[in-house]
Amino acid sequence: MFVTNLPGTNKTLRMRIWRALKGAGAGALRDGVYVLPHSDRAQATFAEHASEIRAGGGSTHMFALQTESADQTKTLIRLFDRTDEYQEINDRLEASRKGLATAVELNARRRLASISREATALEAIDFFPGPSGVQLRSALADAEVALNARFSPNEPRAAHRKIARLDRKDYQGRIWATREHLWIDRVCSAWLIRRFIDRKAKFVWLKRLMDCPKRAVGFDFDGAQFSHVDSKVTFEVLLASFDLEADSGLSRLGSLVHFLDVGGIPVAEAPGFVAIVSGARSIHADDDALLTSVTSALDSLYHAYAVEKA
């Protein structure tokens, strides 16, 4: 429990402290009295604001609060009910989905990324999670599927098979084919192929899958040699096929591609990378130019991930 006493004349400090504690997820027992579930993080949060309050001429007290009954515990827990906040985010998500049919791709992806960030921030202060958070996360996953169906149709279905280990020497100077209008898994897989598997690779971007050249190596479509297998997306299948999983930079990129393509564990860089690829798609109608444009971003991410791991 954090008890504050601020000078009445310093309204700016009072508002800043209120906003900061609300942002940290603190519950308000009354004006100037806040609570957080006991943790090192809670103590650090209150201590940080105590210093600011004292510097502004106020005073503070911090107590470890032990509830005396189950009813009192329930009363305190109700202070942290995030149901209404989840509902507000869900309402914006639903409005975004309703406008998807006429939306511009870059704007639609920006809106979804913004809503997803709000949801993640709320989850961080949801100290007593309930069904609302689970429902919103499910709705976000559904919205991502709907968005990809609108702007990146014909996503492949996962096959169930063992991934064979292959020799890169057998895949040099090949023609590689995938669906046109590249999105995350396809553009990252093409980058991976050219950077780490077949440096002389030539790409064919297919308007119709039936037009795939017979000798081409297909990727990221149903029936292709390299596509989704069980829980792995195409990028991860390529890593496994050519024994590249031990490369820490590529492994981290695989996690990013996986999250953006099929969901799962959030990756901090995901919204920014989506914005980059969406922007590139809006500038470059030609997929060769799109790949060239995104290559520099992927090169930078790869080296950042590799250095970070080291």
Return d(Cα 307, Cα 248) in angstroms, integer: 9
Angle formed at CA 272 by CA 244 and CA 299, multiple of 5 degrees: 35
CA distances from 237 to 161, 220, 231 (A): 11, 10, 10
- Token match 């008890």: residue? 3
pLDDT band at 309 (very low <50, low <70, confident <90, very high): low
pLDDT band at 224 (very low <50, low <70, confident <90, very high): very high
DSSP state of 94: H
pLDDT band at 94 (very low <50, low <70, confident <90, very high): very high
CB of 127 closer than 8 Å to CB of 80: yes
Give the relative orientation of helices 287-309 and 184-192 as an angle to the nearest 10 degrees: 70
Return d(Cα 8, Cα 294) in angstroms, integer: 54
Q: Which residue has the higher pLDDT, 112 or 198?
A: 198
Residue 108: alpha-carbon gap to chain centroid: 15
pLDDT at 277 over 80: yes
- The model's pTM: 0.69
Of the listed ranges 49-58, 77-86, 105-114, 284-293, the one predicted with least confidence = 105-114
Helix (H, G, I), strand (E, B) or coil at 61: strand
Q: In what order do the strands lie in the sheet with 175-179?
A: 202-206, 175-179, 217-218
Length, in residues, of the chain: 310
What six digits make up the tokens of 233? 């997306």
Burial label for 38, CB within 10 Å (0-12, 13-18, 19+), is exposed
Helix (H, G, I), strand (E, B) or coil at 222: coil
Task: Please give the pLDDT value at position 149.
Answer: 82
Task: Please give the pLDDT value at position 109.
Answer: 86
